């Protein structure tokens, strides 16, 4: 069965510092991995995805994520955090090809960036 | 602005009322989804439509009734809801049913539903 874990409920970082939001996954096949961000009173917005190829994936708003197969991780990173990055971040996984129609979301990590 | 449009943005209804949530996308996506999201929690899948046919019903109570009139529209009909049904209801779409695709889902901004 597919599963995804975000071990931190909340991450606090100062503006200008690098940030990392952690995600680990479990699938039976090859994973499709996604990061989404949700701002207050908004839907989820797609940030980036890993399908295959280069382990370092670059996405929207300066975010990137590193796929690590041996550690089954897909951590979200940004070199320099902005106050406007404060939001709720969801890691998500689909099992390829056995996952069917479902995307499994992690519990979410709330990111606070202090000025 | 999101490419998936949901109406209304807010809805307050009594437990005996009947109302509908609407979702529209014009990206040519052939898969559409309904999710329920409680505060500070991840979205929970309710229904999936693939090529206008219901593909997944995640054991959702019958007081929620989905409808997909065409490839651009998705409705969620509500009747006799309970207070615990109060939540943010999100609609999403993707290019093809996600089991065959590596494409992400596009989400609307949701309808915030309150049951009195």
The per-residue pLDDT for range A102-111, each reduced to its tens digit, is 789 999 999 9
Cross-chain residue pair B102–A41, CB shorter than 8 Å: no
**pLDDT for position B101:** 65
Predicted local distance difference test score (pLDDT) of residue A101: 61
A100 touching chain B per CB within 8 A: yes
Q: Please tell me the distance from the alpha carbon of residue A43 to that of residue A35, in angstroms, as a whole number.
A: 13
Per-residue pLDDT at A49:
93
The whole-number pLDDT of residue A28 equals 80
Whether chain B has a CB inside 8 Å of the CB on A43: the answer is yes
> What local confidence, expressed as pLDDT, does residue A98 receive?
53
Separation of alpha carbons B60 and B89, rounded Å: 13
Res. B56: pLDDT tops 70: yes
Q: What share of chain B has pLDDT > 70, as a percent?
A: 94
Closest CA–CA distance from residue B81 to any residue of chain A (Å)? 22
Residue of A44, A51, A94 with shortest CB distance to B43: A44
Percent share of chain B, pLDDT over 90 = 78
Contacts of B10 in chain A (CB under 8 A): none
pLDDT at B99 over 80: no
Q: What is the pLDDT of residues A41-97, one digit of tens each?
A: 899 999 999 988 899 999 999 999 999 999 999 999 999 999 999 999 999 998 765
Reported in sequence order, the residue ranges of A2-105 that DSSP labels E, i.e. its strands, are 3-5, 10-14, 19-21, 24-26, 30-38, 44-50, 56-58, 64-68, 73-78, 87-96, 104-105
Residue range B72-85: mean pLDDT, rounded = 96
A5 to chain B, any CB pair closer than 8 A? The answer is no
Q: List strand residue ranges (DSSP E) for chain B, in order.
A: 4-7, 10-13, 18-25, 31-37, 44-50, 53-57, 64-70, 73-79, 87-94, 106-107, 111-115
Largest pairwise CA distance in chain B: 41
| Contact residues, chain B to chain A, C-beta under 8 Å | 2, 4, 6, 31, 40-43, 45, 48, 50, 55-56, 90, 92, 97-99, 102, 104-110, 112
Query: What is the rounded CA–CA span in Å between residue B42 and residue B36?
Result: 9
Rounded to 5 degrees, φ, ψ at A81 are -75, 150
Residue B97 confidence (pLDDT): 66
Most A CBs within 10 A among B32, B43, B54, B88, hence the mutation to make, goes to B43
The answer on pLDDT for A100 being more than 70 is no
A41 contacts chain B (CB < 8 A): yes
């Amino acid at each position: 069965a597919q599963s995804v874990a975000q071990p931190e409920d909340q991450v606090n970082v100062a503006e200008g510092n690098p940030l990392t939001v952690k995600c680990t996954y479990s699938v039976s096949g090859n994973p499709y991995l996604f990061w989404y961000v949700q701002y207050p009173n908004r839907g989820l917005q797609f940030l980036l995805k890993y399908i295959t190829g280069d382990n370092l994936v670059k996405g929207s708003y300066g975010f990137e994520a590193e796929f690590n197969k041996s550690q089954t991780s897909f951590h979200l990173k940004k070199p320099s955090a902005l106050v406007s990055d404060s939001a709720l971040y969801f890691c998500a996984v689909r099992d390829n090809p056995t996952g069917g129609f479902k995307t499994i979301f992690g519990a979410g990590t709330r990111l606070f960036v202090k000025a | 602005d999101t490419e998936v449009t949901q109406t209304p943005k807010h809805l307050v209804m009594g437990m005996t009322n009947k109302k509908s949530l609407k979702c529209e996308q014009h990206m040519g996506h052939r898969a559409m989804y309904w999710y329920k999201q409680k505060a500070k929690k991840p979205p929970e899948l309710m229904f999936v439509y693939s090529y206008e046919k219901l593909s997944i019903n995640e054991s959702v109570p019958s007081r929620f009734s989905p409808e997909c009139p065409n490839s651009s529209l998705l409705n969620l009909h509500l009747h006799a809801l309970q207070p615990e049904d109060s939540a943010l209801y999100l609609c999403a779409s993707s290019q093809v049913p996600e089991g065959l695709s590596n494409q992400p889902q596009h989400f609307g901004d949701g309808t915030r539903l309150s049951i009195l």
